[in-house]
A and B are shown apart, each in its own frame.
Chain A
Amino acid sequence: QLQLQESGPGLVKPSETLSLTCTVSGGSISSSSYYWGWIRQPPGKGLEWIGIIYYSGSTYYNPSLKSRVTISVDTSKNQFSLKLNSVTAADTAVYYCARQTGGGAYLIDYWGQGTLVTVSS
Chain B
Amino acid sequence: QSALTQPASVSGSPGQSITISCTGTSSDVGDYNYVSWYQQHPGKAPKLMIYDVSNRPSGVSNRFSGSKSGNTASLTISGLQAEDEADYYCSSYTSGTTVAFGGGTKLTVL
Contacts and interface: CB of A to CB of B under 8 A. Distances in A.
Nearest to B51: A107
Interface string A105-120: 1111101111000000
A74 interface: no
A63 interface: yes
Interface residues of B, number: 27
A49 B33 CA distance: 19
B100 A108 contact: no
Given A48-B101, A106-B34, A106-B93, 18 more contacts: A46-B101, A46-B103, A46-B104, A47-B38, A49-B99, A49-B101, A60-B98, A102-B51, A103-B32, A104-B32, A104-B93, A106-B36, A106-B98, A106-B99, A108-B99, A109-B51, A112-B45, A113-B45
Interface of A: 37, 46-49, 52, 60, 62-63, 96, 100, 102-109, 111-114
Contact of A105 (B2, B33, B98, B102): B98
Contact of B98 (A48, A52, A96, A113): A52
With most chain A CB atoms within 10 A of its CB, the pick from B36, B45, B57 is: B45
Interface in B56-94: 57, 89, 91-93
Closest 9 CB pairs of A and B: A106-B93, A49-B99, A111-B45, A104-B93, A46-B104, A47-B101, A103-B34, A106-B34, A46-B103
B46 interface: yes
A46 B2 contact: yes
Nearest to A101: B51
A105 B34 CA distance: 10
